[in-house]
A and B are shown apart, each in its own frame.
Chain A
Amino acid sequence: MQLSFSAEDEQFREEVAGWLQRNLTGEFEQLKFRGGPGDEHMFPQERKAWEQKLAEGGWTCVGWPRAYGGRGCSIEQQVIFFEEYARAGAPGRVGHIGEGLAGPTIIAFGSQAQKEKYLPGIVAGTELWCQGYSEPGAGSDLANVRTRARFDATRNQWLITGQKVWTSLAHESDYCFIIARTDPDSAAHQGLGFFLVKMDQPGIEIRPIQQITGTSEFNEVFFDDAECGADDIVGAPGEGWKVAMGLLGFERGVSTLGQQMLFQNELDEIVNIARDNGAARDPVIRQRIADAHIGLKIMRYNSLRMLSGSEDGSLQQEALIYKLYWASWHRDLGELAMDVLGMQSEILEAPPYELSRLQSMYLFVRSDTIYGGTNEIQRNIIAERGLGMPREPKVQIKVQDSQ
């Protein structure tokens, strides 16, 4: 075990920090600490410009192989990049779904033509992506998607019809990757396809959904014979589930270290408030602040373990518990923030519903334990894959029987 970074990596750290310091200025100054979870609706245009600024410096897709336009950074360097990025207060990345999810999927499963068509726009920060998985009837039970894709040979297009929901940033995105049923008679994991769909077309309608924060980051997306080119299906028809599941593996990548820096910023703000308003003298609050600090420290150690890889290439237990762990920790941090603020936590920044950063965080964290697999689904996965306990039995219970 070796905790420190090499001299070369430390030099890389300086390079990243230096670039951010020089470039996160002028028009971008106002973006500092903005655009994170709960704040994603803020400054969309400016943050798109920032994506391109990053791209100019070669700081998008740092972990992608060079062959696909990435920087080819080692795991250590990626850790450093995401840490410094967050430390500098650089804004939430509008390109994160493309860089973290769509791109890696295309790299792993896409055709040569798809790589050439889609990867450069992601690297350049000019094309944004959203994720179209969930539907009204397919939340935790993702395999229950009903959206259909049928191939129209005369037009040489897939035509997609159905509805997606909770699609984050759909209104800002150029493309959406979706799973849809290619075989209308299929059920569950069979008969699905994975499609890369252009958002700006007549067959797609986007309606924002207002969240408990009063803002709208996610949307309903309606598809009515929306077009998708014959070459824009990843993998074969019927292989969509495999591709979609491969993608889940990318979701707990190195960016988790950057996420933890954001958490650290939030915790620092809470600590400062507690010292100022006297909450730091309350023994119960002291315990809770220390607990949050301890929880975040260990989160980092757990990530270091995750990133170092398993000894024998087997499934890593510490990776399996990670989502449940950080989501629950962050949820508790939200409550702590409000409790440290006391009555002041009630007072809005401005009417009609402008929230402070911590108020917004407190509300937004309620979604951390829902999206990307709810806490309950995480526990099922941990018990079944991590502990080898029996899978959930498949029984059908009709709604009326349960009443």
Chain B
Amino acid sequence: MDFRFSDEQRMIRDTAAAFLAEVSDSAAVRAAMATEIGYDRQLWQRICGEMYLQATHIPESCGGMGLGYVELVAIMEQMGRYLLCAPFFSTVCLAGNALLVAGSAAQQQEYLAQIAAGELTATLAHTGVTGEWGAQGVTAVYRQRAGQYVLDGKLRYVVDGHTADLLLVAAREEGSSGEQGISLFAVPAASAGIERTWLPTVDQTRKLAEIGLSGLAVPASALLGEAGAAWPDLSKTLDLATIALAAEQMGGTQRVLDMTVDYTRERVQFNRPIASFQAVKHIAADMMLKAEVARSAVYYAGCIAQEALSGDALGAELPEAASVAKAYCSDAYFANSADALQLHGGVGFTWEYDVHLYLKRAKASEHFLGNGAHHRERVASLLLDTPNA
């Protein structure tokens, strides 16, 4: 048992941090968030071409680096810390994981290889207009017709859905319900029958879209796994993505604390730095507690995700580890951002200071893939909905 980063993992984290500090400063974030596509294509090319971050946990057989989930988590932490605007989470953590979990060897060779090479952006579209995260949230439907699948319905809250090259779409067989009848399809976003609409968002640093499917016909080769039996794979994909998102949240949780400590040490009132007031120190201490506890949850979940991907024993803990991390990090990130705003006083309420960017990202990330209450309920049903032994 050793619950520490290896030297190599530390190096990966530090390299990513140094790069992001340079390319994802406040000005860069603000420039990207003001656009409809939401990111700087040149920067994305550097991320992919110089840093190979997108290739981190993609197997070497598909042209990736073949590293583990802990490395990915370490990178996501830094992306959250620097509020990176890029289609990384959608391409790597949503679509990439779906392909890793559910894709055939051929599909992986085709799509994962293109992702690893930085030639393809992708995303996962699974929840319908209700925005529910469980199986019942899958509301788009498909029918089989002449060896093809025909898809209809509306998918919402699709991260980078308006810009991604490839869509992994979850739909259910007409008339099915719950966990039954769900299938996953890999579909080029430019296909006829797909209408993509950007949804402007409060958190401008991550873009969402609505995707309308009307009579979208896809070949059988687009199907990932077995028809109608995709829920376990989809669920696993969502758990993996949830852990990556929790890592990003944790990076933000720490960053707003750092900003607050810096600011309160500089700002003088009553002839003292405001950091010397105990009311301020105690809030900061609670913020540090949340950041550290979030970190413990995320690193552990990262290890479990790795076990789950490589089929090791502890992988069975994946759903729980994902919910533990997401429940804690969702609440911690928003609480720390809110406290950060409070301790910045009036300037914290200005557009000019960055605190609001984090506050907004925190709320959006909290809701995406299920908020604290959603994940606590998931844990509760694991614990409580079986009879006493």
A275-B388, A294-B376 known; A1+B70 contact, CB < 8 A? yes
CB closest residue in chain A, given B281: A383
* Chain B residues within 8 Å of A186, by CB: none
- A386 contacts B by Cβ under 8 Å: yes
CB closest residue in chain A, given B386: A275
- A112 contacts B by Cβ under 8 Å: no
Q: Indicate which residue in B289, B320, B324 contacts A324 across the interface (CB closer than 8 Å).
A: B289
Query: Interface SS of chain A: helix, strand, loop or mixed?
Result: helix
Q: Is the CB of A298 within 8 A of B296?
A: yes
Q: Is the CB of B1 within 8 A of A304?
A: yes
Q: Is the CB of B285 within 8 A of A294?
A: no
Q: Indicate which residue in B275, B295, B383 contacts A390 across the interface (CB closer than 8 Å).
A: B275
Within 8 A of A (CB), among B261-319: 261, 264-265, 272-273, 275-276, 278, 280-282, 284-286, 288-289, 292-293, 295-297, 299-300, 302-304, 307, 313-314
Q: Is the CB of A301 within 8 A of B379?
A: no
Within 8 A of B (CB), among A307-356: 307-309, 311, 317-318, 320-321, 324-325
Contact string, A343-378, partner B, CB cutoff 8 A, digits 1/0?
Answer: 000000000000000000000000000000000101
- A305 contacts B by Cβ under 8 Å: yes
Q: Is the CB of A1 within 8 A of B299?
A: yes
* Chain B residues within 8 Å of A392, by CB: 278
- A138 contacts B by Cβ under 8 Å: no
Q: Is the CB of B264 within 8 A of A389?
A: yes
Contact string, A373-403, partner B, CB cutoff 8 A, digits 1/0?
Answer: 0001011101110111110110000000000
The smallest beta-carbon distance between A141 and chain B, in angstroms, is: 15
Q: Is the CB of A3 within 8 A of B314?
A: yes
Q: What's the A-B contact tally at a CB cutoff of 8 Å? A: 167
Interface centre among B324, B373, B387 (most CB of A within 10 A): B324
* Chain B residues within 8 Å of A276, by CB: 388
A321-B289, A382-B289, A386-B288 known; A309+B384 contact, CB < 8 A? no
Q: Is the CB of B377 within 8 A of A325?
A: no
* Chain B residues within 8 Å of A384, by CB: 281
* Chain A residues within 8 Å of B284, by CB: 382-383, 387, 389
The smallest beta-carbon distance between A166 and chain B, in angstroms, is: 24
Q: Is the CB of B282 within 8 A of A379?
A: yes
* Chain B residues within 8 Å of A283, by CB: 377
* Chain B residues within 8 Å of A380, by CB: 278, 281-282, 285
Within 8 A of B (CB), among A268-323: 271-272, 274-276, 280, 283, 286-287, 289-291, 293-294, 297-298, 301-302, 304-305, 307-309, 311, 317-318, 320-321
- A43 contacts B by Cβ under 8 Å: no
A1-B299, A298-B324 known; A287+B376 contact, CB < 8 A? yes
The smallest beta-carbon distance between B134 and chain A, in angstroms, is: 16
- B353 contacts A by Cβ under 8 Å: no
* Chain A residues within 8 Å of B323, by CB: 294
Within 8 A of B (CB), among A166-204: none
Q: Indicate which residue in A6, A271, A287, A379 contacts B286 across the interface (CB closer than 8 Å).
A: A379
Interface centre among B281, B285, B297, B376 (most CB of A within 10 A): B285
Give the distance in Å from the alpha carbon of A289 to the alpha carbon of B383 in the complex.
Answer: 9
The smallest beta-carbon distance between B223 and chain A, in angstroms, is: 35
8 contacts between A and B (CB under 8 A): A2-B303, A3-B303, A280-B384, A289-B384, A294-B327, A294-B328, A304-B300, A383-B284
